Amino acid sequence: MFDQTTEVSGSPVVSGMFGRNPVFRDIITANPEMEKIFHVIEKVAGTNSTVLILGDSGTGKELIARALHDLSGVSGPFVPVNCGAIPDNLLESELFGHEKGAFTGAISSKPGRFMLANNGTIFLDEIGEMTPNLQVKLLRVLQERVIEPVGGVKSQPVNVRVIAATNVNLWEKVQEGSFREDLYYRLQVVPIELPSLSERPEDITILANHFSHEYALQNNRRPLVFSPEVLQVFGRYRWPGNIREFENLIERLTILVDGDAVYVEHLPRYLCEQSDVDGFDWRSSELPEDGLDFNSVVDSFENSLIMQALERTKGNKKAAAELLNLNRTTLVEKIKKKGIGVKRDEEETQLKAAR
């Protein structure tokens, strides 16, 4: 069986999960930055301060917002609003509610999400998409803690914790004039910046195992086991869609891979092609300013060629050796030395024996 508790991408997998507040149990991580974020959340949870969560798409902003809400122990609900997904003309009534007859189609009065979140938390996702008109109204709510339903004459007090999130650079929006500076400062009383998945090498193996168990359960099959080479490819890929993209891939592999073991040949091609070593793309002929580690780059170049040859020949080492103009024995030796994946059927036998 592959050992998935040792090194991935040069970083030892540490378990940072012991002693952590159970509210964070759905957030799988061993990353020190994430641990710091948990401490910030613990500190801010008991207050009513506005929190702004920054991070690329799929980094877990909503997951963090929910944990913050759960930890705060408030009696009201967690109400998420995706400001980017609701048309501008509807967002105001969606947030603040409306009175009967406020606009065509308003046949009865309706409470907004702020009111629904009373004594709880409202999560304003994609806050950067909010129009200037609504930004002013939101600022007023944050400052005065009252809302004005569309078509209404009376302000209504609300007691709501506001968490906002964005994957755009809000400060850039402030500078180009599309986001109000006063609202920006009002929102980011406590800013939390989530690292992207490529900045969390220690999370790759534990997340792979976590999702593999989750989707195994859902699909009524045994969890996948990843070859060391596959984990290396995972560790080198940039994951533009971050944890969501990673999760989707593991779900896909759970459905498509026959047997329990995942080899490089099972991975989508782009994953292997786009992964590079420590930020150095071996396809580029330029030596980086600050140099590189010759052995690891050459090693990675070799690995990549061998992996591609094995992938193209569906694991047939004789054919792969021919593609690379190598003796079969030389290739087999390299594969063994590099641990690139024991012969598929041998591995299956080992897996069976280990069970």
Ligand X SMILES: Nc1ncnc2c1ncn2[C@@H]1O[C@H](COP(=O)(O)OP(=O)(O)OP(=O)(O)O)[C@@H](O)[C@H]1O
Kindly identify the residues of this chain, within the stretch 32-61, that bind Mg ion according to CB under 5 A: 61
* Beta-ladder partners of 124: 81, 164
Cα 113 to Cα 37, 128, 298, 339: the distances in Å are 27, 18, 56, 55
3-state secondary structure at position 165: strand
Rounded CA gap, 350 and 333, in Å? 20
Total residue count of the chain as it appears in this document: 355
CB 208 within 8 A of CB 216: no
Among positions 244, 312, 338, 344, the unique one binding ligand X when judged by CB under 6 A: 244
Among 58, 76, 223, 341, binds ligand X (CB under 6 A): 58
Distances (CA, A) of 127 to 106, 163, 167, 346: 26, 10, 9, 53
Residue 119 Cβ vs ligand X, minimum distance, rounded to whole Å: 23
Show contacts with Mg ion in window 108-147 (CB under 5 A): 125
For residue 261, give the 3-state DSSP assignment.
strand
Print the binding letters for residues 247-276 with ligand X: x by CB under 6 A, - otherwise.
Answer: x-----------------------------
Residue 245 touching Mg ion (CB under 5 A): no
When the beta carbons of 62 and 199 are compared against ligand X, the nearer one is: 62
What is the tally of helices (H) and strands (E) in the chain?
15, 11
How many other β-carbons are positioned within 10 Å of the β-carbon of residue 163? Answer: 30
Q: Which is nearer to ligand X, 85 or 136 (CB)?
A: 85
Tokens 């989750």 locate to 214
Under the binding rule (CB under 5 A), the answer on residue 62 touching Mg ion is yes
- The distance of Cα 170 from the centroid of its chain, to the nearest Å, equals 19
Dihedral sign, Cα of residue 232, residue 233, residue 238, residue 242: negative
Cα R_g (the chain), whole angstroms: 25
Pick the closer one to Mg ion by CB: 80 or 228: 80
Indicate which single residue of 23, 27, 277, 335 sits in contact with ligand X (rule: CB under 6 A).
27
Give whichever of 123 and 226 is closer to Mg ion, judged by the CB atom: 123
CB under 5 to 8 A by kind: which of Mg ion, ligand X, none does 230 bind?
Answer: none
> Token digits for 300?
């990675």
Q: Which stretch binds ligand X (CB under 6 A): 26-34, 116-124, 131-139, 231-239?
A: 26-34
Q: Which option in ligand X, Mg ion, none does residue 80 bind, with CB closer than 5 to 8 A by kind?
A: none
Q: Stretches 21-29, 136-144, 286-294, 335-343: which one binds ligand X (CB under 6 A)?
A: 21-29
Residue nearer to ligand X on the CB measure, 19 or 291: 19
Residue 60 within binding range of ligand X, rule CB under 6 A: yes
Q: Which residues bind Mg ion (CB under 5 A)?
A: 61-62, 125
Q: Which residues bind ligand X (CB under 6 A)?
A: 27-29, 55, 57-63, 125, 167, 243-244, 247
